[in-house]
Amino acid sequence: MKDLLSYMGQFSCRVYYEDVDVGGICYHSKYLNFCERARSEVFFSKNSSPIQGDHHFVIRNINANFYAPSKFGDQLVINTYTKEYKNTSVILYQQVKNKNDKVIFEMDVVLVCLKKDKISRIPDIFKNMFLTQKHI
C-alpha cells in the first residue's frame, strides 16, 4: 500500500440503474461521483462540512486507475486516506472495493483550499479532519 498519513473514513454505496449503461456496467465517470460522496461523508459523519465560512476545496488534479468493472446492484466500499498534507493543499488516496474486497478503482486527488475563490492556507478545522483520524 502507498505511504499514507491517516485513514479518514469509509463510505458504502450501491450501483443503481442510473449509474449503468445498457449492458448493466457502471459508467467510468460514476466512480468519481462515488469518491466525491465519500469525501463529503467524512465531514458529515463528524458533524462538520467541507465548506467552512469562506473556505472550501476544489480539485486541481486527479490520477485515476480502473481495474475491473462494477455492475448494476453491486455494493461498493470507498476508503479515503490522507496521503500528503501541505499548507494550501492536500492529496487524498481513495480506493473503491467490491463485495469480494477487491480494489476495482483507485485515485489520488489533489484538493486546493480556497477562501473567496483565492488559494488559501487550510484552516485548522480542516487540518484536524485530514490528520487526526485513525492512523494506519
- Read off the C-alpha cell for 100: 469480494
3-state secondary structure of 95: strand
- Read off the C-alpha cell for 87: 499548507
Triad 80, 83, 89: Cα angle to 5° = 100
- Give catalytic status of residue 117 as yes or no: no
* CB neighbours of residue 89 within 10 Å: 16
Q: Of the listed 3, 19, 21, 74, which one is catalytic?
A: 21
- Just list the catalytic residues: 21
